[in-house]
Amino acid sequence: MRPVLVLTHAPSEGPGLIGPALDAPLRVRTVVDVADPLLPDPDEVAGIVVMGGWMDADDDLHHPGLAAERALLARAVAQDVPVLGVCLGAQLLAMALGGRLLRRHGTEVGFGPVDVVADDLVLGPLGARPTVLHWHADAVELPPDATLLASTEVTPVQAFRRGSALGVQFHLELEPAMLDLWLQTPEMVAGLDDDEIATIREDGRTHLPALVPAARKVVEVFAEQVRLRG
């Protein structure tokens, strides 16, 4: 079986529960600051997963590898390769498909519901109004010919589908240990006060027991698409 390419952008924002749930060989790469990275051709991989990060999805000046990632994602969708983009990964995917990044559109940090507005085979296990973890200030416009899947008042495009690709602005990968790491990482909690951090920690204890199994089911459906590509 061909490997799944996992693109990461920050040490604290790895694939989390996505990796084990894929049950496939993984090729994890971090190329965000590489001007001309060597990335595989879409034909060489069974799927692509793009994780989060603290940088802006259009900041090619300071993080030149982002342009190569977007180009790869555009080719992958054109070749019907299964793609899953999470947070920054969803923003890169949207831009690759012709959507526009909206810098500082609205801050959402912490647990809160999203409204699922359309059916999707992969996203379906989350249910109609799941409580998920948000951690972003940027947003995207819906790419041309994409289907809006989930929304909040602050961020109208919380999830979208175009062809073989699913983008989710919220975090599906979180397990309790990863949340603990984030809440101890200065870059992640910059701008949050002690009470806000405590609230996120407590909300994690409340919501992750239901969210983690549902997220695993989401990734398992994505993994089946990856296996079919082989």
User: Given phi > 0 = left and psi -120 to 50 = alpha, else beta, which region is 127?
Assistant: left
**CA dist., res. 139 & res. 142, Å (int):** 10
220 assigned to active site: no
Taking alpha carbons only, the member of 224, 209, 150 closest to residue 179 is: 209
In 20-97, which ranges are E strands? Answer: 26-29, 47-50, 83-86
Amino acid letter at 222? F
**CA dist., res. 73 & res. 18, Å (int):** 18
List all residues 6 or more positions away from 47 whose beta carbon is below 8 Å from its beta carbon. 4, 5, 22, 24, 81, 82, 83, 84, 222, 225, 226, 229
Instruction: Please tell me which residue in 9, 87, 134, 207 is annotated as part of the active site.
Output: 87
Instruction: Please tell me which residue in 13, 136, 173, 207 is annotated as part of the active site.
Output: 173
Q: Half-sphere exposure (CA, 13 Å, Cβ side) for 13? A: 23
173 assigned to active site: yes
Taking alpha carbons only, the member of 203, 133, 140, 137 closest to residue 172 is: 133
Amino acid letter at 8? T
Q: Half-sphere exposure (CA, 13 Å, Cβ side) for 192? A: 23
Instruction: Please tell me which residue in 9, 134, 171, 207 is annotated as part of the active site.
Output: 171
87 assigned to active site: yes
Catalytically annotated residues: 87, 171, 173
